[in-house]
């Protein structure tokens, strides 16, 4: 590739002093040199990612200006590495350049961050990232011919603009993912611009890119939300479960060593430190591939790829086969007489090993379910170990685990039954009502997106052999989207409680949420006129959007009516709206003389 050359991966963004030991093994030296070459050729892309994710509102011209400043800084430090300014870590240097740029910190309200220093400032920049990007204009689309002409005229500027637009709309996506997306997009442009059917080619190439970006974004935001809201112990539990299911033959000692690198990676990536993120991820991939014989038999092909391409390959690789002779139970956690003593001697290690043993024996369970079982076990031991005969008590732990799994399984079975019986459109309205009742403070676009994602999860999973794990994993990611990454995300007391109290059981918590009674409802008498005006606007808008907006408003303004009443109002009003959109004077359709919809709405309110 001419511009984004995948000749290696990245240990650091720029040649700045960082806490990185120099390699000594020949293979590590080769990797280090390839990485340095990659940095030399692609620093601009990495700087665009950093600036666009931190300051999403900044224009492309402003980001390009900041990138030029960064490149000048890099060159200056290469020439004079002993300058005091060259001892900064890269993330601090990036933020310094933004804060020193005349007018930008005031224009984008970063003055309070720039007054801070070190970790508090980095955290401030991170908390300014906005997951809901509705404030940005729609993603710019070009006719395929125009796209190819722009690529031909100035491919570097064209690809920089693409990276800028993607990065600022995905502020929590890790830099290695965005670099992969950029590489795939460049390959698509190179290929499709030579084709006769350019539009068809771009559509085919865009689908897997979009899917990879969306899936990566959802998972990374969910895990970062867990780290930031619940701390490193929950993050470690997630990683133990994920890696133990994926690589069931890895030894616990080797897993512990690997997870030290994985935890370091998430700490840097989730904080928004591009340098630490890409450096640590490189280390994780190297760690896995250097010990693949003892980790997995399924990743040999992945480890032969260039480092930047390894991650997606390893993630998508099949789970390794369960080791022969591995029983479904590990007796040491339920049958040993010394369980309480072992727990007390090193609780973190004890429960990490429990998750490891249970996960590798039960690859059919979802990650959230494995965390629920671990939480149940922790609470159960707390009770058992306080009794006179602890062993008699905790020998029944498996019964508790099965009860927990049955509860979760019943939820998934009910959801898949609804999917089969209701169909996608009706089921989306069901989830739209459910999310709006629980979180009426959210904008319509976000509520619609959440309901679509739930339906997509069921559509993906409900016919698979691993239906339970698939649904539970994806549904938990949807709730991760709702709860958000930052601790300063707040919706209402009930939703906040589910998001922040117990990561493992938040899905169960959301399942029992009622309509939010703290939401300040507008007067119901204003409902019909407002909806009339919405439907009668001569705007070019998808009819489905109007139906969704009507349903959201109906739930917000009349949350306590029955499902039957809501369906009746929805059916009658949308039918009237469709008719009225075709007439010359649509407002007349909604008058009391020509429509019963308004009277029916008022009658329903009186009955309440």
Helices (H), 272-366: 274-290, 292-295, 300-303, 307-316, 339-345, 347-361
Helices (H), 484-596: 493-501, 506-511, 527-536, 543-557, 563-580, 586-589
**Inter-residue contact 70 to 95 (CB < 8 Å):** no
Classify residue 392 by burial, with Cβ atoms within 10 Å: 0-12, 13-18, 19+: exposed
Report d(CA 289, CA 204) in Å as an integer: 31
Task: Give the tokens for residue 539.
Answer: 């705007």
Residues in the chain: 608
The two counts, helices (H) then strands (E), for the chain are 30, 0
**Inter-residue contact 77 to 86 (CB < 8 Å):** yes
Identify the sign of the CA torsion 149, 151, 156, 159: positive
Report d(CA 499, CA 592) in Å as an integer: 45
**Inter-residue contact 80 to 11 (CB < 8 Å):** no
496-508 burial by CB neighbour count: b if 16+ within 10 A, else e?
eebbbebbbbbbb
Rg of the chain, C-alpha, whole Å: 27
- Residue 273 is labelled as binding a ligand: yes
**Inter-residue contact 510 to 439 (CB < 8 Å):** no
**Inter-residue contact 198 to 144 (CB < 8 Å):** yes
What HEC string does 67-81 produce?
HHHHHHHHHHHHHCC
Bind-site residues for Zn(2+):
273
Binding-site residue numbers are 273
């Amino acid at each position: 590739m001419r511009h984004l050359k995948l000749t290696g991966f990245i240990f650091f963004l720029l040649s700045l002093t960082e806490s990185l030991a120099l390699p000594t093994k020949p293979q590590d030296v080769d990797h280090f040199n390839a990485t340095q070459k990659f940095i030399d050729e692609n620093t601009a892309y990495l700087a665009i990612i950093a600036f666009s994710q931190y300051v999403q509102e900044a224009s492309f011209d402003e980001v390009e200006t900041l990138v030029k400043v960064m490149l000048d800084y890099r060159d200056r430090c290469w020439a004079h590495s002993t300058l005091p300014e060259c001892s900064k870590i890269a993330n601090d240097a990036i933020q310094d350049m933004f804060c020193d740029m005349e007018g930008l910190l005031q224009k984008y309200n970063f003055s309070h961050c720039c007054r801070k220093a070190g970790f508090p400032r980095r955290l401030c920049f991170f908390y300014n990232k906005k997951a809901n990007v509705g404030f940005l204009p729609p993603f710019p689309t070009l006719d395929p011919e125009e796209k190819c002409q722009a690529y031909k005229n100035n491919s570097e500027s064209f690809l920089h603009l693409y990276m800028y637009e993607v990065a600022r709309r995905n502020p929590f996506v890790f830099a290695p993912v965005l670099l992969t997306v950029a590489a795939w997009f460049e390959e698509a442009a190179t290929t499709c611009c030579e084709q006769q059917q350019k539009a068809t080619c771009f559509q085919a190439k865009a689908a897997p890119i979009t899917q990879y970006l969306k899936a990566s974004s959802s998972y990374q935001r969910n895990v970062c939300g867990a780290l930031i809201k619940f701390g490193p112990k929950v993050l470690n539990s997630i990683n133990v479960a994920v890696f133990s299911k994926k690589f069931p033959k890895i030894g616990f000692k080797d897993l512990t060593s690997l997870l030290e690198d994985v935890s370091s990676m998430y700490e840097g990536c989730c904080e928004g430190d591009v340098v630490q993120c890409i450096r640590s991820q490189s280390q994780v991939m190297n760690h896995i591939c250097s010990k693949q014989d003892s980790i997995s038999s399924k990743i040999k092909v992945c480890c032969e790829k260039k480092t930047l391409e390894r991650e997606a390959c390893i993630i998508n690789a099949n789970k390794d086969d369960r080791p022969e002779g591995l029983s479904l139970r590990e007796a040491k956690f339920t049958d040993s007489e010394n369980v309480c003593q072992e727990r007390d001697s090193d609780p973190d290690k004890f429960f990490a090993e429990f998750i490891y043993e249970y996960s590798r024996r039960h690859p059919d369970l979802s990650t959230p379910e494995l965390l629920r079982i671990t939480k149940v076990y922790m609470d159960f031991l707390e009770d058992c170990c306080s009794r006179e005969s602890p062993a008699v008590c905790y020998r029944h732990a498996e019964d508790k685990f099965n009860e927990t799994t049955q509860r979760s399984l019943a939820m998934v079975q009910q959801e898949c039954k609804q999917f089969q019986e209701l169909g996608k459109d009706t089921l989306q309205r069901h989830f739209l009502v459910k999310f709006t009742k629980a979180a009426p403070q959210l904008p319509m676009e976000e509520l619609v997106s959440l309901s679509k994602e739930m339906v997509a999860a069921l559509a993906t999973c409900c016919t698979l052999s691993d239906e339970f794990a698939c649904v539970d994993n994806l549904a938990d990611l949807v709730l991760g989207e709702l709860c958000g990454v930052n601790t300063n995300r707040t919706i209402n007391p009930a939703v906040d409680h589910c998001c922040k109290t117990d990561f493992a059981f938040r899905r169960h918590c959301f399942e029992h949420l009622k309509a939010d009674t703290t939401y300040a409802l507008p007067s119901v008498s204003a409902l019909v006129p407002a909806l009339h005006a919405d439907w009668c606007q001569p705007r070019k808008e998808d009819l489905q959007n109007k139906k969704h907006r009507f349903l959201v408003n109906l739930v917000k303004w009349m949350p306590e009516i029955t499902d039957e009443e809501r369906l009746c109002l929805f059916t009658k009003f949308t039918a009237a709206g469709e008719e009225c959109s075709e007439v010359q004077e649509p407002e007349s359709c909604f008058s009391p003389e020509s429509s019963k919809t308004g009277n029916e709405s008022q009658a329903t309110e009186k009955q309440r």
